[in-house]
Amino acid sequence: MFTAQDVTVIIPAYNSAATIEACLRALHMQTAPPGEIIVADSSKDETPDIIRKGFPQVRLTRFNNQTFPGPARNRAAGMARGDILAFIDSDCLAAPDWVERIVAAHNAGHEIAGGSLEVGNAEKPIAWAGHMLEFREFLPGGPPRPVIHIPTCNLSYRKRLFQEFGGFPNAYYPQEDLLFNYLLNLRGHQVWFDPAIHIYHFYRDTWGEFLPHQHRIGRVTRCSLGRLDLPGRDVARRPLLAWLSAPFLGMVKFLRSSAAFLRKYPAQAARMPHVLFIIAVGAVWWARGFASGARTGLSGIRGWDTPLEDVLLALEQQHEK
C-alpha cells in the first residue's frame, strides 16, 4: 500500500513569482503532505529566491534557458525518490486532500490518475474563457471514470511506468501530455479521472497571453491529430481539408465551450455574459492556429527541436501495426 510519503510532487516553473508561493503553501498544508516536492525552474524572475528562502525543504533544479513543461517534468521525474509522480503546475492550488486522494486512487490499482480543474482567478473574464476553451472536459462533477487524457497540471503516474515509456516529448507543447497519455492507452494503461482529485488553476487573464496561447493550441492540435486516432484525424491528416475546415472547427469549439459554461456555471454566465464574446475571439485565434498548422505543420514553432523523439516513434510504430 502506498502512503503520502511515496508521492513526489513535480512542478515546472517559468517566471512564476506571482504564484509559486501559494502553490507550495497549499502543498505543505495537505491533509497528508507528500514525501517530496521538486520544482524544475527556468525562470528569469525571483522564483528560485522565493523557493530557497521560503521553502528550503523543496528540491530545486534549474535550467539556464526557458524550458517547456515536458522536459522540465522529465528531469524532475528522473530525480524523484517517490514511487508516485504527482504533477501540478506553478499556477495551480491543490485542494487540501489532493495528495490523499491521489494515494487512494493508486492504492485502488490505478497506474495513472488525475482529476478536475476549477478556475482559480474566477474574477477574470478572460480566465473563464480560456479555461472553458481548454479544460471544459475536466470540470468538477460526474462519477470517476476512465478517460484517454487528463492535463498534466493535475495528473499522477506510477514512476516505473512513466520511466518505462520515456516521459513527455518536447516537440508538441502544450499537447505533449496528450501524446504521451494516448501512447499509454494504446499499450493498455488506463487513465483514471476522479473529479474529487481537485485543483484550482489560475488561467492566463490578459489578451496578450490568452490569444497567442489559443493560436498555439490550434496549431499543435492539427499536428497532434495527425498522429492520433481521435475524432478529427481524417480532417487533420489532409492539409488542404484541414485548412478549409478551420473556421468550421473553430465555430464548433466556440459552441461547445459556450454551452459548457452556460450549463455548468449559470450564475457566472449571468454575471459575466461577455465571457461568451471572449470565448468566440479565442475560438477564432484557435482556428487561425489550426489553419497555420495545416499550412506549415510545426516548422519554425519555438520548442520544436527534436521531432524524432522516442514517444513519437512509438506512436508511429503503433499506427503501422
Return the C-alpha cell found at 54: 521560503
- In 3-state terms, what secondary structure has residue 85? strand
Q: What residue ranges do the domains of the chain occupy?
A: 4-201, 207-320
Return the C-alpha cell found at 290: 489550426
Per-residue pLDDT in tens (0 to 9) along the chain, 321 residues: 999 999 999 999 999 999 999 999 999 999 999 999 999 999 999 999 999 999 999 999 999 998 889 999 999 999 999 999 999 999 999 999 999 999 999 999 999 999 999 999 999 999 999 999 999 999 999 999 999 999 999 999 999 999 998 899 877 888 889 989 998 998 999 999 999 999 999 999 999 999 999 999 999 999 888 777 877 788 888 989 989 999 999 999 999 999 999 999 999 999 999 999 999 999 999 999 999 998 887 765 655 445 445 666 666 565 555
CA dihedral 137, 143, 149, 152 (to 10 degrees): 90
Type of residue numbered 22: A
The H-or-E segment that residue 113 falls in is strand 112-119
Strand partners for 119: 201
4-201 topology per CATH: Spore Coat Polysaccharide Biosynthesis Protein SpsA; Chain A (3.90.550)
Residues 247 and 56: their CA atoms lie apart, in Å, by: 50
Return the C-alpha cell found at 2: 502506498
